[in-house]
């Protein structure tokens, strides 16, 4: 049976892969566009895009009305911690108010879709710093920046709309997502620099940030499978870590990518790439989503890094 799938933030990194997965399986996909350049395959007959600023309630109502969704993946967000310090108001308006607008629109239209809300590992914050272990869903949410704070608000508001109004909410606390085409993160930044060096044939130095931090990373293609498994098999109202359960040190990943490039590349630290507040370890426990939703990873870290380099 064909489903109507609404993806907010459809033009973002995860939205692109999620769109392709559902179109391939014969479903109808709707999404909003907002000042983005990475647009999914616009000419597909089952893809329908509408201009919509998630911060504007009437525009969100229109998007929900047009799509009449069976499933909503709420991915739209201001997702950069550094930018959240520069513009905390826009971060909160987008991530918190945008989520409220979505729930309000569902209720006004008297709809009953499943709603997956893309929350974040950034919610754990100080817990990650203090505990130095894999994080579980019941751990305290103690964010260290406005982005993390906005995601805590989004997460808990989603839970309240489930408890008070019965909206079928699934809260996905997504850890670091990497893969081919990702921009503005460590793997994406380094892989693009390596590709540029290979194409130019010239010696160059890669600029990097903190190489000591460790992050739980998962290929975007596995993350998409996890989100779909969650709305199909998860329990309404509950939170799930979406992660690999393995931490990777940035310095180790850098060495792997240089090795895969087949080049002799030097690197140096760039102060502009180092955050003032940065958790030394972010590691999640994926036991719940694996056991309850029958999800497992397919892509190895080696395959992901090679694909990331080759993308450019």
Task: Give pLDDT, residue 255.
Answer: 92
Q: Where in the chain is the domain with CATH 3.90.25.10?
A: 179-215+247-282+299-311
Q: Where in the chain is the domain with CATH 3.40.50.720?
A: 4-177+219-242
- In this predicted model, what pLDDT tens digit does every residue of 42-75 receive, in sequence order? 679 999 999 999 999 999 999 999 999 999 999 9
Task: Give pLDDT, residue 1.
Answer: 87
Task: Give pLDDT, residue 58.
Answer: 98
Task: Give pLDDT, residue 132.
Answer: 82
CA distance 85 to 192: 26
Task: Give pLDDT, residue 298.
Answer: 97
Out of 3.40.50.150, 3.40.50.2000, 3.40.50.720, 3.40.50.1820, the CATH code matching 4-177+219-242 is 3.40.50.720
Given a cut of 80, is residue 201 above it in pLDDT? no
CATH of domain 179-215+247-282+299-311: 3.90.25.10
């Amino acid at each position: 049976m064909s489903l109507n799938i609404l993806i907010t933030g459809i033009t973002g990194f995860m939205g692109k892969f999620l769109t392709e997965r559902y179109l391939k399986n014969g479903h109808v996909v709707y999404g909003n566009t907002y000042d983005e350049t990475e647009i999914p395959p616009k000419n597909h007959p089952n893809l329908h895009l509408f201009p919509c600023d998630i911060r504007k309630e009437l525009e969100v109502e229109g998007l929900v009305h047009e799509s009449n969704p069976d499933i909503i993946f709420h991915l739209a967000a201001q997702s950069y911690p550094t930018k959240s310090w520069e513009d905390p108001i826009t971060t909160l308006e987008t991530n918190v108010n945008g989520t409220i607008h979505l729930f309000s629109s569902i209720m006004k239209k008297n709809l009953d879709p499943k709603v997956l809300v893309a929350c974040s590992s950034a919610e754990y914050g100080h817990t990650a710093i203090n505990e130095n272990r894999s994080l579980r869903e019941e751990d305290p949410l103690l964010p260290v920046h406005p982005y993390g704070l906005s995601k805590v608000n989004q997460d808990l508001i989603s839970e309240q709309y489930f408890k008070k109004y019965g909206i079928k909410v699934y809260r996905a606390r997504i850890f670091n997502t990497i893969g081919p085409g990702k921009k503005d993160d460590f793997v994406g930044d380094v892989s693009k620099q390596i590709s540029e060096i290979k194409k130019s044939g010239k010696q160059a130095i890669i600029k990097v940030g903190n190489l000591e931090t460790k992050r739980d990373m998962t290929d975007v293609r596995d993350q998409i499978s996890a989100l779909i498994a969650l709305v199909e098999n998860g329990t309404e109202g509950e939170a799930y870590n979406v992660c690999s359960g393995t931490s990777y040190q940035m310095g180790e990943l850098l060495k792997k990518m240089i090795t895969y490039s087949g080049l002799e590349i030097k690197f140096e630290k760039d102060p502009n790439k180092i955050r003032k507040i940065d958790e030394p370890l972010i590691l999640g426990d994926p036991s719940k989503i694996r056991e309850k939703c029958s999800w497992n990873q397919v892509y190895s870290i080696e395959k992901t890094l090679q694909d990331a380099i080759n993308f450019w």
